[in-house]
């Protein structure tokens, strides 16, 4: 769960006072709080042995045209061409054969073969005009984070309903996308002063309980790739701002099995998170409960861990 709205959104409070919002949530005296949120494959490649018919592609052993790709001496060129073409769909709604060939500095025949292969595997679809291609359903499915599929959402609903009943606090589920988490669903606490969940909001993973829970399940090599620098961005004065401090806390989380966030995404709001069972790394989710600091100190949050684990056990249960 992202624990709530971050980046300083203001919630109006009865009597004229104001409360700042953050990743933990926004609390107002009139009982509203903002979790801050809006937003919400099978392999492929050209036929074996295909090459750049134009002869203009980069020579083996050199970087690709963008300067960011791997050296050609250690890649399969046809596969690399297909992957580079798929990346174009990140910035182009539609692509013609000529446009793809020009952007990748490859021949039209090569571009046509790659697009046809992607189409055959569902990673591209031909426009109704027949003149261009757009991203296909398989590409969209590959990029979709955990927790948004219909079947998973149904299972999460059962977990969240049970968790809010057990804990009495706002509960949310979250998935990891790079070094950020995204809220996939949530349930609101019945307390007069509470955190209000908002689906689709993303937050820095190192500043939230759910993010740290998910990061703790990654290998050291993955973490170093995700955080190549020692300095981490500060969200509040309580946010962990060094990689070494984060990694030390992740070790502690692995030992105790739950993660805490103490005003790290918004002052005055705390949270606790436990993992949800997953069949693969890509399907990992965290279950979080968040509360105002006056009723969510370390002792109180640790007391919610057992209840969250009981609710988490319902995930995927028949």
DSSP string, 175-203: EEETTEEEEEEEE---SSS-----TT-EE
Q: How many angstroms separate the CA atoms of 10 and 20, rounded?
A: 5
Closest of 72, 50, 59, 65 to residue 116, by C-alpha: 50
What's the mean pLDDT in 102-124? 92
Greater model confidence, 42 or 128: 128
The whole-model pTM stands at 0.64
* 105 φψ region: left (φ > 0), alpha (ψ -120 to 50), beta (else): left
pLDDT at 72: 53
Beta-ladder partners of 183:
174
Q: Which of 49-58, 130-139, 159-168, 224-233 has the lowest mean pLDDT?
A: 49-58
> How far is residue 293 CA from its own chain's centroid?
26
Q: Which of 251, 234, 254, 232 is nearest to 243 (CA)?
A: 232
Q: What is the mean pLDDT of residues 8-30?
A: 36
> Which range is least confidently modeled, 65-74, 91-100, 226-235, 297-306?
65-74
Residue 98: CA atoms inside 13 Å, Cβ hemisphere, count?
Answer: 1
Q: What pLDDT is attached to residue 208?
A: 96
Range name among 89-93, 107-111, 233-237, 270-274 with the lowest pLDDT average: 89-93
User: Token pair for residue 179?
Assistant: 């070094």
CA-CA distance, 278 to 275, in Å (whole number)?
Answer: 9
> How far is residue 51's CA from residue 32's CA, in Å, rounded to a whole number?
60
pLDDT of residue 47: 39
φ, ψ of residue 195 in degrees (nearest 5): -95, 135
């Amino acid at each position: 769960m992202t624990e709530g709205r971050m980046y300083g959104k203001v919630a109006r409070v009865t009597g004229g006072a104001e409360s700042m919002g953050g990743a933990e949530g926004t609390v107002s005296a009139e009982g509203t709080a903002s979790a801050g949120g809006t937003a919400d494959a099978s392999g492929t490649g050209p036929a074996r042995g295909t090459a750049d018919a134009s002869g203009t592609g980069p020579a083996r052993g050199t970087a690709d045209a963008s300067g960011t790709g791997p050296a050609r001496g250690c890649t399969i060129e046809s596969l690399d061409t297909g992957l580079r073409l798929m990346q174009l769909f990140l910035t182009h709604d539609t692509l013609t054969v000529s446009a793809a060939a020009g952007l990748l500095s490859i021949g039209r025949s090569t571009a046509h073969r790659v697009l046809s292969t992607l189409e055959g595997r569902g990673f591209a679809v031909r426009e109704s005009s027949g003149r261009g291609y757009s991203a296909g359903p398989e590409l969209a499915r590959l990029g979709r984070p955990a927790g948004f599929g219909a079947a998973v959402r149904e299972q999460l609903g059962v977990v969240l309903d049970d968790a809010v009943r057990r804990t009495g606090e706002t509960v949310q589920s979250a998935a990891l996308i790079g070094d950020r988490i995204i809220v996939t669903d949530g349930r609101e606490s019945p307390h007069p002063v509470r955190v209000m969940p908002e689906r689709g909001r993303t937050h820095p993973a190192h500043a939230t309980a759910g993010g740290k829970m998910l990061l703790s399940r990654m290998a050291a090599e993955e973490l170093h790739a995700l955080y190549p620098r020692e300095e981490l961005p500060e969200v509040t004065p309580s946010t962990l701002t060094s990689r070494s401090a984060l990694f030390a806390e992740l070790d502690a989380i692995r030992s105790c099995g739950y993660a805490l966030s103490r005003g790290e995404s918004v002052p005055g709001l705390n949270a606790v998170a436990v993992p949800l069972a997953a069949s693969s790394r890509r399907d990992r989710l965290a279950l979080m409960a968040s509360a105002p600091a006056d009723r969510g100190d370390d002792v109180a949050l640790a007391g919610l861990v057992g209840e969250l684990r009981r609710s988490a056990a319902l995930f995927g249960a028949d």
